[in-house]
Amino acid sequence: MAETASFVSQPCQASFTHPKLTSIKALSEFPGLSSIPSIYTFPTDPNDEALSDTNESIPTIDFSLLTSSIPKERCKIIQELGKACQDWGFFMVINHGVPESMAKAMIETCRGFFELEEEEKQEFQGKNVLDPIRSGTSFNVSVEKVLLWRDFLKLFMHPEFHSPNKPPALSETALQYSRRVRQVAREILRGISESFGLEENYIDEALNLENSLQLLIANFYPPCPQPELAMGIPPHSDHGLLTLLIQNGIGGLQVQHKGKWINVNPIPNSFLANIGDHIEILSNGKYKSVVHRAVVNNKETRISIAMAHGPAPDAVVSSASKLLVEDGDNPPLYKAMKYKEYVELQQSSKLDGKSCLERIRNRTI
């Protein structure tokens, strides 16, 4: 117990070597914790301004219309999808067909993982950012000067499926859920492809989505005694094409829109969708990946499950040549790069806005 107490009174990154304090869950449950160690104090941005509960402005996409056999309905929703991508980079997806019971089961089985004994979770820590099973705390403790109030579990769902064997229900639940969500994501990406004026299957074929990388990221944000000082996930954009997120009914997601932060309170049984950096690359900047973050609270544990959908790992992503021609033969804004190399670049760094995307920008333009 003396060693545990020293972790709280003398916060330092090395403290994570203590076998019983390898997670933010363990720290949050420390008896009498009333303040956070200084290494969790996130620097504030004086320019930040959060707007609350402006959900009426966040676009909503009715997925059932994307699969409609009525051409006029499908054409209209594709236009709305394109506008949502161009104006926001973020939208809610309703009537997607994934049972609410399946989403709840996914959240609860992930909760079960985070509630395992610390020693059991350490079996799945992983050593490399591209390891197919990796659990941990913060984002990348090897490079971060400030740690995040967050534990995570990252699993490769596709093209090969990987899952811990604990808790017992996790593997089968994740397999079934990932298959259903992947179908939804591919249909939305077909709609995005058409919204560009490209063929329906352009993204599917150009980026080999038959072998696409699908990544499940489970996030665990326990109550924080000083939520105004800590951060769940700092402002960042996602790698890949499209992320579909669910949560356990506890708010915390904020998206940046026109320079201001918008609190997101989702429609029940909807997916929160955001386009990733590789849609921005593919569209040559026409559609921009959205910057978002997760804040924490002092009352309830928030769990979110993000399903990130990218190209095939070996696919080289560049701006679509047809879009470059239509844009007046403008040169590509970003360098072509293998998707898995981009993922490794982002995951090996600290999260910092769109810094990873900026690193591959063509500076001669």
**How many Cβ atoms are within 10 Å of 51's Cβ, its own excluded?**
13
**Phi/psi at 360 (5° precision):** -110, 10
Specify the amino acid at residue 47.
N
- Per the listing, tokens 């996914």 go with 106
pLDDT at 54: 53
pLDDT of res. 337: 94
Amino acid at 144: E
Q: Within the chain, where are the H helices?
A: 2-9, 24-28, 63-66, 71-87, 100-114, 118-122, 170-195, 202-206, 277-282, 321-326, 339-347, 355-359
Is the preceding omega at residue 167 within 30 degrees of 0, hence cis? yes
C-beta separation of 35 from 226 below 8 A? yes
Task: Give 356: exposed, middle or buried? Use CB within 10 Å, 0-12, 13-18, 19+.
Answer: buried
d(CA 350, CA 146): 10
Q: Is the pTM of this model over 0.85?
A: yes
At 344 the pLDDT is 87
Give the C-alpha distances (Å, rounded to integers) separating 43 from 46, 152, 192, 203. Answer: 10, 22, 36, 39
What pLDDT, on a 0 to 100 scale, did the predictor assign at position 326? 58
pLDDT of the residue at 3: 32
Q: Residue 307's beta-bridge partner residues?
A: 216, 244
Q: What is the pLDDT of residue 14?
A: 35
Sign of CA dihedral 272, 278, 281, 282: negative
Cα separation of 275 and 351, whole Å? 17
Predicted local distance difference test score (pLDDT) of residue 19: 37
Q: Which residues contact 277 (CB under 8 A, 6 or more apart)?
A: 237, 238, 239, 240, 289, 342, 354, 356, 357
Indicate the SS3 state at residue 101: helix
pLDDT at 279: 97
Q: What is the pLDDT of residue 142?
A: 62
Burial (Cβ within 10 Å: 0-12, 13-18, ≥19) of residue 94? middle
pLDDT in tens, the chain (365 residues): 333 333 333 333 333 333 345 799 999 998 999 999 999 999 877 666 666 555 558 999 999 999 999 999 999 999 999 999 999 999 999 999 999 999 999 999 999 999 999 999 999 988 787 899 999 887 766 667 778 999 999 999 999 999 999 999 999 999 999 999 999 999 999 999 999 999 999 999 999 999 999 999 999 999 999 999 999 999 999 999 999 999 999 999 999 998 889 999 899 999 999 999 999 999 999 999 999 999 999 999 999 999 999 999 999 999 998 887 655 567 899 999 999 999 988 877 777 788 889 999 987 65
